[in-house]
């Protein structure tokens, strides 16, 4: 790893290390929980994120959404149905974090013995990780999610004998 560089701007990473760069952008747990909510549960609005089980504060949520947008991970648009609402979605840079979310989930399932979930997704990932990640990315990019909504990833995985 390279020598740390000094920076007076907050937007400059503290070093040239790629792990440091990633952690500076995503190290707050709320950042990954927002990404999880989009990818796994199809949430896209401030109030949907606020309703998550982890009880994020309004100020923390607003800060994380702004940070993720500033970093180019999220895109914000106005709702076509209600112009007062802002809709958050993953940018290309955000979609590139889908495999990281999957790895975090896989690690959590392996080491938290109290987790009780349907293992269908994990089994599909074990059988064909590359294509399942591709399917998740494409579904999220089209506005869908892993578990919620019409044509979600789980419906696609269980309705096909094999992935494309």
Whole-number mean pLDDT of the chain?
Answer: 87
Question: Is-above-0.75 flag for pTM?
Answer: yes
Q: Is the pLDDT of residue 5 over 70?
A: no
Sequence ranges of the domains in the chain: 18-159
The strand pairing partners of 75, in sequence order, are 89
Q: What mean pLDDT is predicted for residues 36-55? A: 95
- pLDDT value for 136: 97
Looking at residue 24, what is its pLDDT? Answer: 84
- Is the per-residue pLDDT at 152 higher than 70? yes
- Tell whether the model's pLDDT for residue 3 goes beyond 90: no
138 pLDDT above the threshold of 60: yes
Report CA dihedral (97, 100, 106, 109) to the nearest 10 degrees: -80
Q: In 10 A of CB 57, how many CB atoms?
A: 10
Token digits of residue 128: 């064909």
Continuous segment of H or E residues that includes residue 66: helix 58-70
Q: Are 141 and 90 in contact (CB under 8 A)?
A: yes
User: CATH fold of 18-159, please?
Assistant: Arc Repressor Mutant, subunit A (1.10.10)
């Amino acid at each position: 790893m390279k020598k740390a560089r000094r920076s007076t701007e907050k937007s400059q990473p503290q070093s040239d290390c790629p792990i440091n760069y990633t952690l500076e952008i995503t190290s707050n747990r709320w950042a990954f929980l927002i990404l999880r909510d989009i990818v796994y549960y199809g949430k896209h609005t401030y109030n949907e994120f606020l309703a998550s089980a982890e009880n994020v504060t309004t100020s923390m949520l607003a800060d994380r959404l702004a940070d993720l947008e500033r970093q180019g991970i999220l895109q914000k648009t106005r709702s076509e149905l209600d112009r007062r609402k802002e809709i958050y979605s993953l940018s290309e840079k955000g979609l590139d974090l889908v495999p990281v979310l999957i790895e975090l989930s896989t690690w959590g399932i392996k080491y938290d013995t109290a987790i009780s979930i349907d293992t269908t997704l994990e089994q599909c990932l074990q059988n064909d990780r590359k294509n399942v990640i591709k399917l998740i990315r494409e579904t999220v990019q089209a506005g869908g999610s892993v578990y919620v909504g019409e044509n979600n990833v789980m419906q696609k995985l269980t309705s096909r004998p094999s992935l494309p």
